[in-house]
Amino acid sequence: MTPSSVAPAPMADPTAYLSDRVLHMQESATIAMAKKSRELAAKGVDVVNLSFGEPDFQTPQYIKDAAKQALDEGFTFYTPVPGYLDLRQAICDKFQRDNNLSYKPTEIVVSTGAKQSLTNAVLALVNPGDEVIIFSPYWVSYAAIVELADGVPVPIMGSLDNDYKVTAAEFAAAITPRTKLVMYSSPCNPTGAVFSRAELSAIADVLAQHPHIFALADEIYEYINFTGEHVSLAQFAAVKDQVITVNGFSKGYAMTGWRLGYMAARQDIAAACDKLQGQITSGTCSIAQRAGLAALKGGRASADEMVAAYHRRRDLVLELAKDIPGLKTPTPDGAFYIFPDVSAFFGRTAPDGSTINDSSDLALYLLNDAHVASVSGDSFGAPDCIRFSTAAADEKLRVAFERIKVSLAKLS
Ligand code: PMP
Ligand code: GLU
C-alpha cells in the first residue's frame, strides 16, 4: 500500500471523526458562561460574574498549611485508588458525627471532585437504556453524565408552589420497569431547595418498595443550609443500602480548585467505583487528600463562618430581586444561588430590536447589556428560569442587581 492510498478521505464534516458520545454531549453551561464572562472581562469590560457557582472565599489557612506540610513530608507518590486510609476513616468519622451514619473505609471512595464521584456511581450502575429519574431543576451535569453511560435521563419537575421540590408521589409516578437510579441534590443546585425529614422519609418509603432502584444523593451543599437541619436519604435504614451519598470539599471548605470529593456506598458499589477509577484516573492528588484530612479534622467551624455570609447575601439578593418587576423568586433554604422564573420577559424586545425568546436569550442579553453573567435555566431542566450565584461580595451583588433592573426595564 502506498502512503497516499491510506490517507483519510476528506470529510464533509471536519468533526465527524469525533465519537457520537462527545458530539452529542452538551458543553457544561456553567463552564461555558463562566468562559464567556472571562472573555468579556479580558477585553476590559467590568463584568460581574454570577454564573459560576463557587465560593468566593479562600480555602481556610489551616487547610493550606496542611498541604504545604504534605509536600514537605514527601506526599508526592501515587495514592491508593480509593484514597488514603486515614482520609477515608476521617470521612467515616464525619458521616458519624454529622449524619449519624455508620460507614467503614471500604465503603468510601475518594475522587477528583464530587463530579467524578457522581460519574463513577452512574457508570457503575447504569446500563444502556436504563432510566435515571432526575429531580428537576437539576445540576447541569447530571443529564450529561447519564447520557455518557448510555442511560436515559428522565427529568421530573417539581412545582414552583413547592419550591420546585419533587414529591414522593411524583417520584413514584415516574418509576417504570426500566428505572435504575434516581438522582437529586439537597440543598439543591440550582434552586437552593432543601428536603425536609418528612419529605425525604416519604421518598425513602417509595424507594423501599423498589429494592432494585438506587438513589444518588448529592449532598455537596450540606453545610450551606439555612434551615438548621440537613437530612441524608441514607439515614432511613430501610434504604441505606440503596443510597450512594456524594459529598466533597469544594463548597463547605471553599476548595473548588483542589478537586476532592467522595462517595459512601455499600461495599460492592464502592468496590466497583474503585475498579473504574483505577482504570481512569487512579487515586486523586496526594496533596489535596492530606489537605482534606486536615479540613475534616478541623470540623465545620470554618464553614460556619462562610455560611453566615451566604445567608446574609441570600437575604440581600432576595430584597434586591423583589425590587425587580417580572422576577418570581422562591426563597432558597441553602446553597448559594437564586433561581427566578423569568418567563414574564419572553417575547419582549431588546433595544437593538432582537426578541428575547427564552432564558438563554435573556442570559446573553444580561451579559451584553448589564455585564452580569448568569446561567440560563434550560441547562438545569427549567427553561423558564435563570440562575444567579450569590457567592459574591455584597457590593458586587448590589451593583449586579441594580444593573439587571435597569437592563430588564429596557425590554419592551
Ligand atoms: N454537585 C453539585 C450539585 C454541584 O453544584 C457541584 C459543583 N459544581 C458538584 C456536584 C461538583 O463538585 P466538585 O467541585 O466537588 O466536583
Ligand atoms: N457548582 C458550580 C456550578 O454549578 C461549578 C461549576 C461546575 O462544576 O459545573 O456552577
| Ligand 2 center from residue 131 Cα (angstroms) | 24
- Pocket around ligand 1: residues whose beta carbon is below 6 Å from it? 53, 113-115, 139, 185, 189, 218, 220, 248, 250, 256, 261
pTM above 0.75, yes or no: yes
Say whether both 112 and 240 belong to one domain: yes
Residue 93, H or E segment: helix 85-99
Q: Is the pLDDT score of 26 beyond 90?
A: no
* Residue 120 domain flag: yes
C-alpha to C-alpha distances, 338 to 21, 234, 351, 385, nearest whole angstrom: 32, 27, 26, 10
Please state, for a pLDDT cut of 70, what percent of the chain lies above it. Answer: 97
| Ligand 1 center from residue 321 Cα (angstroms) | 25
What lies within 8 Å, CB to CB, of 21 at 6+ separation is 148
* Residue 247 domain flag: yes
Strands (E), 258-369: 261-264, 337-338
* Residue 352 domain flag: yes
Query: Ligand 2: which residue has its CA nearest to atom 10?
Result: 53
| Cell representation of residue 145 | 453524565
Ligand at minimal distance from the CA of 391 is 2
| Ligand 2 center from residue 363 Cα (angstroms) | 16
Say whether both 249 and 345 belong to one domain: no
* Residue 48 domain flag: yes
Mean of the per-residue pLDDT values of the chain: 95
* Residue 180 domain flag: yes
| Ligand 1 center from residue 9 Cα (angstroms) | 42
Q: d(Cα 31, Cα 78) in Å, to the nearest integer? A: 29
Say whether both 370 and 263 belong to one domain: no
- Among candidates 95, 139, 105, which has minimal Cα distance to 119? 139
Say whether both 294 and 308 belong to one domain: no
267-293 pLDDT tens trace: 999 999 999 999 999 999 999 999 999
Residue-number span of the structural domain to which 313 is assigned: 20-57+302-409
Say whether both 203 and 334 belong to one domain: no
What lies within 8 Å, CB to CB, of 222 at 6+ separation is 98, 187, 230, 247, 252
For the chain, the domain total comes to: 2
Q: Tell whether omega for the bond before 177 is within 30 degrees of 0, i.e. cis.
A: no
**Residue that finishes a domain, picked among 270, 298, 326:** 298
Q: Is the CB of 189 under 6 A from ligand 2?
A: yes
What integer pLDDT is reported at residue 299 of this predicted model? Answer: 92
Q: Is 148 exposed, middle or buried (0-12, 13-18, 19+ CB in 10 A)?
A: middle
| Cell representation of residue 190 | 440550582
The two beta strands, 337-338 and 386-389, are: antiparallel
Say whether both 287 and 335 belong to one domain: no
**Residue 294 sits in a domain of what CATH number?**
3.40.640.10
* Residue 334 domain flag: yes
